[in-house]
């Protein structure tokens, strides 16, 4: 059954192992109020509790209600001071460090802090009507949660400068061309495409998936030698797991359907 917080809703599909978190401020284009930031963390934390007795939930889809992903920070709160504290920014880090893969399903506006939220996720899949950008320059500030850093890595520094300095709203297709979005689909095909992708990830051995997420993160934060040593160490560990045995058996027996338990 879905669970409602003040500004988010969560649900979990036991059959597929996919969790869902919906930003639920449609009248405000899902702008990031302080409450929404808190509810994103609370919702993801509660979803992860499904795994207290084993690896049941395998991946999470984050989306926005009302036809928009997130239009950025809630500017009405800036009168009380902009969101500059670590508490206010914690949802970005929480998503990045979440143990499971997180998929951003993007419709409509994906701007400023909304784009930074999406780029904190592991994957970004949008529809062709979506628009993304970093408009903070028009407020006399810069993206404060790593927007320029993310795009510099996903595309290149010149592209990051262009997007952040112009503040323009760009079409999703360009985001895919630049590597900012993983894929773009027609609006009426987005739900099915994201479900298929999420279920594919959820069907894989959970320990391998989690380790791959950590490895990819290390690739942007450490030297090559350290990253290779990490991969070698966890490779040896995964060889002794039940999931590895299941995978080997399924490879050897064409009619055997593996059941990966995260053990």
Average pLDDT over residues 220-239: 85
β strands within 164-208, DSSP E: 170-171, 183-185
pLDDT tier for residue 86 given thresholds of 50, 70 and 90 = low
* pLDDT score for 168: 95
Window from 40-49, 195-204, 244-253 with minimum mean pLDDT: 244-253
State the residue for tokens 């990051």. Answer: 160
How far is Cα of residue 57 from the mean position of the Cα atoms in its chain?
15
Domains of the chain listed by start with CATH number: 3-202 (3.90.226.10), 206-252 (1.10.12)
Is the CB of residue 103 less than 8 Å from the CB of residue 59?
Answer: yes
Size of the chain, expressed as the number of residues it contains = 263
d(CA 7, CA 110): 17
* pLDDT score for 249: 85
Q: What are phi and psi for residue 15, nearest 5 degrees?
A: -70, -40
Query: Which sequence positions are flagged as catalytic?
Result: 116, 136
Average pLDDT over residues 118-129: 97
Whether the pLDDT of residue 87 is over 50: the answer is: no
Percentage with pLDDT > 90 across the chain: 68
């Amino acid at each position: 059954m879905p669970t409602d917080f003040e500004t988010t809703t969560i649900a979990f599909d036991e059959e597929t192992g996919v969790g869902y978190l919906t930003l639920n401020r449609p009248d405000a284009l899902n702008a990031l109020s302080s409450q929404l930031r808190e509810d994103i963390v609370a919702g993801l934390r509660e979803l992860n509790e499904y795994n207290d007795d084993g690896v049941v939930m395998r991946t999470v889809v984050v989306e926005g209600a009302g036809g928009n992903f997130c239009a950025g920070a809630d500017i009405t709160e800036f009168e009380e001071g902009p969101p500059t504290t670590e508490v206010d920014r914690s949802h970005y880090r929480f998503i990045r460090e979440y143990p499971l893969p997180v998929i951003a399903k993007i419709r409509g506006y994906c701007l400023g802090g909304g784009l930074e939220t999406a780029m904190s996720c592991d994957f970004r899949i949008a529809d062709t009507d979506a628009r993304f950008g970093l408009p903070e320059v028009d407020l006399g500030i810069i993206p404060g949660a790593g927007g320029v850093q993310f795009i510099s890595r996903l595309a290149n520094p010149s592209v990051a400068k262009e997007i952040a300095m112009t503040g323009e709203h760009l079409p999703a297709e360009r985001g895919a061309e630049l590597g900012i979005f993983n894929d773009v689909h027609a609006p009426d095909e987005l739900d099915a495409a994201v479900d298929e992708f999420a279920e594919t990830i959820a069907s894989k051995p959970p320990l391998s998936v989690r380790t791959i997420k950590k490895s990819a993160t290390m690739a942007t934060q450490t030297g090559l030698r350290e990253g290779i040593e990490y991969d070698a160490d966890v490779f040896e560990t995964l060889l002794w797991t039940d999931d590895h045995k299941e995978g080997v058996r399924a490879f050897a027996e064409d009619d055997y359907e593996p059941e990966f338990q995260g053990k």
